Amino acid sequence: MQQDNQNDAYAEALAEAAKLLELAQAQLQRARARSPEEFVERTDLLAKRAFELKVKSDWLRCLSQGKIRFSDRQSSDRRFGIDRRLVRMQKVLLSIA
């Protein structure tokens, strides 16, 4: 029973973190649109990391609630600047939504 309460509190905190990260993503896009040219690349990097953190927090929330299994994850590949596991994680999350 106590474990369920801990998981619920954990999932709730992760859901709140995901909401805040989504807001941060929107603000970063807004900042990018207004940024001087020399800061566009850095702002893009921040937006990518916010996206990664949001997907990972959603992933952990669903994992803690038993909606997905840890084995649904794939290996890392950073050739394109975003952890490619995130694409797979996001597809799994969208399939259960």
> In which band, very low, low, confident or very high, does the pLDDT at 13 lie, cut at 50, 70 and 90?
very high
8 Å CB contact between 55 and 89: yes
Q: What percent of the chain has pLDDT over 70?
A: 84
- Distance set, CA 15 to CA 6, 42, 73, 85 (Å): 14, 27, 20, 20
Averaged pLDDT of the chain: 83
Q: b/e per residue, 62-79, with b = 16+ CB within 10 A?
A: bbbeeebeeeeeeeeeee
Give residue-wise pLDDT tens across range 83-94. Answer: 667 777 778 888
pLDDT in tens, 58-85: 988 988 888 888 765 555 555 555 666 7
Q: How many helices (H) and strands (E) does the chain have?
A: 3, 0
b/e burial code for range 35-56 (CB count within 10 A of at least 16 → b): eeeeeeeebeebbbbbbbbbbb
**Domain layout of the chain by residue ranges:** 2-96
Question: 35 pLDDT band (50/70/90 cuts)?
Answer: very high
Q: Maximum Cα–Cα distance for the chain, whole Å?
A: 54
